[in-house]
Structure 1
Amino acid sequence: MQVLTPHVYWAQRHREVYLRVELSDAKNVDISLQENNTLQFRAQGHGAKGDNQYMFTLEFLEPVKPEIHHKSTQRQVDIKIRKQEERWWDRLTLQEKRPLFLAPDFDRWLDESDAETELQAKEEQRLNKISIESRLRKDPYLGLKKGYLFMYNLVQFLGFSWIFVNMTVRLFILGQDSFYDTFHTMADMMYFCQMMAVFEVINPLLGLVKTGFFPALIQVAGRNVILFVIFGSLEEMQNKPVVFFVFYLWSTIETFRYPFYMLACIDTDWPVLTWLRYNLWIPLYPLGVVAEAVAVIQSLPIFDESRLFSLLLPAALGHSLSFSYTLQLYLVLMFLGLFINVRHLYKLRQRRYRSRKRKVH
């Protein structure tokens, strides 16, 4: 088989020499450095003369280190060689006349001044990184914090998924009849999950998570008003279909939100779950607030009639102030909270997709 010479392109920096051998699908690549500072290359591949055995030798201008790093791709073989001394070479080879198969690699070519600028920039970047890392104090409790957050999200995921699965099964089996006893079958687990959700307000205050304190407070407080005040204190509300829709919308959102945060604790990203986390809230969150508003409106006449939680007033002002007035104000605040939380979630969504685009590019 005829032995041929491939096209070789070179470039340099103060510390390294780069060679790019135009040989696709290279096999049996053998690269060695001889005692006389000569690089010897031999490989089987597809070059300018088709599929053949290709080889070349280069005697470098100055000594290089014996460690040679190379990487073969479908199109070429990339070689990186370290210089013994960090200095700029006038040419690559000891012989003044450049070999015919050798040419500058203009994709990586820099003159000496540009290379010096690049070297200074890398050194400044390295020193800045060292300076920043020295100022950052490593958190000795990071593993413990991640373990706590993982377990919290796991418990919440199991609780809300239990509610979601049970309500779905009951809906398929009983149909509309399942609307009327949702509270009696699901309330205990929902009580547990919503009491646990108080930690979502505490965690940002302790610096365990980077999410905002006020959006978490608005959501947790709003849901607890609906659950404990509207549904929990009024037996007349517990058999209404609106309970089903409120519980079902809450559990659907959380069944995908908590496992997303749970996997984030172990630096794992599941694309399907990530997409659901940042898109499912768009229809479900406003629907959940609408369902909560319906529950509040339905409870107003019941609070007026029962005088539950009414505020006693002096005789000159009347007997009492109905709690329904407080709930009417709460309705306005509910939709204000919807705007704040939707704006917050939209910003999180935009930030997430911008960061993913940067990673792709």
Structure 2
Amino acid sequence: MFSFRLVYIFSYNLFQFCGHSWILANTIARFLTFGRDALADTFYSIGFVMSLCQLLSILELFHIADGIEKARLLPRFIQVTEKNLVMIMVIMLEEIQSKPVVCVQFFLWNILDLLRYPHELLRAMDKPSITMLWTRYTLWIPLYILSVATEAVTVYQALPYIEALNATHIHLPFILLGYLSVLALGASVTVWQLLKERQHHLEKWNKKKRK
């Protein structure tokens, strides 16, 4: 029997999966058509959909807190926060929107979410897959580390433009440099938590297989 909560979480994950699938298809098609020139206007072609997907990902914190989704809250909070902060920065700074690093950043975010949401869809249908489970908790972690490194590069490249716009006495560049330190710390905690989560899920799966 389907409950409203089950229908909701399935619909949410399906929407995110479709959104990121469209982003990936659009990115690949543009790259095959325009080559390296496609890197410059990646934000203009997929920025709205990416922004929408990242904004909606805030709901996942409520999903975990409410128990709809079984996951650790702290790693997800760090992931959602860092993505949305970088997204806001890119939206506010037109000069950085055409940087190749933004295209790389969006591509990595896209791949990470395309590895995660199919797994969540199968879990919502109570049809877990060991392949998706392994991919979600093994391949995802090094890609996440690479994504965080790219976020740091994005913030670093944005510093000159922020300094030029900063007409107040607030030292925004120093705040962003501090954010990079927090980002590194948060990413370390997230990876540690994800490794524990990976071990838990794989051990749980192995116990089921033995039964």
- Report the TM-score range of the alignment, normalised by the length of the smaller protein: over 0.9
The answer to whether the 8 A contact 2:115-2:140 is kept is: no
> In the TM superposition, what are the counterparts of 1:252-271 in structure 2 within 5 Å?
252-271=111-130
Once the two structures are aligned, what percentage of the paired residues are identical? 35
The answer to whether the 8 A contact 1:296-1:327 is kept is: yes
Pair 1:179 & 2:179 matched: no
Alignment TM-score, normalising by the size of structure 2: 0.94
What is the aligned partner in structure 1 of residue 16 from structure 2? Answer: 156
Stretches of 4+ aligned residues off by more than 6 angstroms: none
Pair 1:332 & 2:192 matched: no
Pair 1:213 & 2:73 matched: yes
The answer to whether the 8 A contact 1:253-1:280 is kept is: no
Structure 1 pair 282–210 and aligned structure 2 pair: CA distance change class (3 A): closer
Q: Which has the larger radius of gyration?
A: 1
Render the CA deviation track for 1:284-328: whole Å, top value 9, x for unaligned. 101100110000001111111111xx6x4xxxxxxx132111100
Q: Give 2:133's match in structure 1, choosing from 274, 292, 311.
A: 274
What is the aligned partner in structure 1 of residue 172 from structure 2? Answer: 323
Q: Give 2:196's match in structure 1, choosing from 325, 329, 347.
A: 347
Secondary structure of the residue that 2:3 maps to in structure 1?
helix
Structure 2 counterpart of 1:268, which letter? Answer: K
What is the aligned partner in structure 2 of residue 21 from structure 1? Answer: none
Tell me the distance in 1 between the aligned counterparts of 2:17 and 2:84.
Answer: 18
Structure 1 pair 354–271 and aligned structure 2 pair: CA distance change class (3 A): closer
Q: Give 2:63's match in structure 1, choosing from 185, 189, 203.
A: 203
Whose helix fraction is larger, Structure 1's or Structure 2's?
2
What is the aligned partner in structure 2 of residue 301 from structure 1? Answer: 160
Give unmatched runs, 5+ long, in structure 1: 1-140, 313-319
Render the CA deviation track for 1:10-53: whole Å, top value 9, x for unaligned. xxxxxxxxxxxxxxxxxxxxxxxxxxxxxxxxxxxxxxxxxxxx
Pair 1:241 & 2:100 matched: yes
> In the TM superposition, what are the counterparts of 1:1-361 in structure 2 within 5 Å?
143-229=3-89, 231-307=90-166, 312=168, 320-361=169-210
**Comparing 284-293 with 166-175, which one deviates more in the overlay?**
166-175
Render the CA deviation track for 1:193-239: whole Å, top value 9, x for unaligned. 0111010111122222232222221111110111112x100111011
Give unmatched runs, 5+ long, in structure 2: none
Tell me the distance in 2 between the aligned counterparts of 1:347 and 1:281.
Answer: 14
Whose strand fraction is larger, Structure 1's or Structure 2's?
1
Return the structure number with greater relative CO, CA threshold 8 A, min gap 6: 2
The answer to whether the 8 A contact 2:75-2:194 is kept is: no
Alignment TM-score, normalising by the size of structure 1: 0.56
Aligned residues: 210
The answer to whether the 8 A contact 2:163-2:172 is kept is: yes
